[in-house]
Amino acid sequence: MKLIQRLSNSSLTKSSTFVSFVSILAVIGPVVVVSAGFWDAISHLQKEPEFFWSTSHIIVYTGVSLTSCGAILGIILILQKSVHGSLKTGIKLVIAGSALQIISGFGDSLSHDLFGIDGLVSWSHQPLEFGLVLASLGGLLILKNREHTKLKILLPFSIVAFLFFTLWLGFNLVLISGHVIQCIPVYEIFSSGCSIL
C-alpha cells in the first residue's frame, strides 16, 4: 500500500514539475526568439551577409528549441492524462505554437535560400509570430492556473510578453495591408528596403 502511495506521490510531483517546466519554457522561449529576431532585423539593416547559421538565427532557433522542449513535456503530460481544464488548454496552445514556429523556421530557411534577405513582413515570418502568440498565451494560461505556487512571479512578465507579441503581430499585419505606407521610414526600417512578401 505504501509503495502505491509513493508511486502516486512521485507521479504527481513529476507532473507538477513538468507543468512548471512547460510554463517557464513557454514564456522564456518566445522572448528569446523575439530578442534574436530584432538582432536579425538590425543585421538586415546593416546589409550583413544573410545565411541560415548566423549567430542571430542560432539564438532564434535556441528560443524555438526551448518552446519545443516545453511542448514535448506538455505532450507527455497530455498522454499521461495528468492535466485537465485550462491547464490542458494552455499546454495545447504551447504545442500548437511550437509546431507553427518549427514549420515557419523551415519555411524561413527556404525563403532565404530562394530570395535572400527578406523583410519583416514575409510569408514565413507571420506564421512564426502567430506561433509565438499561441505559445506565450499557453504559458500565460498555465501560469494563471499555477498562480498559487512560486511561479506566480513570472505571471506579470508573461502577460507583458503575450501583449507585446500580439501587438507586434498586429503591427506586421497592418504593414501587409498598408500599401500606401510602404516606404515611410518606419516601414523601411522593418522591411529591409521596402521589400514586402
Residues 6+ apart with CB under 8 A from 147: 155
- Tell me what pLDDT residue 139 has: 93
Type of residue numbered 35: S
Q: Which amino acid is at 90?
A: G
Please tell me the pTM assigned to this model: 0.77
- What is the chain's mean pLDDT, rounded? 78
pLDDT tens readout for residues 1-38: 454 344 334 555 477 888 889 999 999 999 998 888 87
Average pLDDT of span 76-90: 89
Q: How far apart are CA 85 and CA 99, in angstroms?
A: 21
Q: Looking at the predicted structure, is the pLDDT value of residue 196 above 90?
A: no
Convert the pLDDT of each residue in 30-60 to its tens digit: 999 888 887 877 776 676 666 667 788 789 8
Q: Are 44 and 192 in contact (CB under 8 A)?
A: yes
Q: Does 78 score more than 60 pLDDT?
A: yes
On the question of pLDDT at 97 being above 90, the answer is: yes
**What span, in angstroms and rounded, lies between the C-alpha atoms of 147 and 52?**
39
Average pLDDT over residues 99-118: 75
Least confident of 53-67, 107-121, 132-146: 107-121
Q: What is the pLDDT of residue 197?
A: 37
Taking only the tens place, the pLDDT of each residue in 151-188 is: 888 899 999 999 999 998 888 777 766 654 554 555 45
Residues 6+ apart with CB under 8 A from 176: 121, 126, 196, 197
What distance in Å separates the CA atoms of residue 135 and residue 137, rounded to the nearest whole number? 5
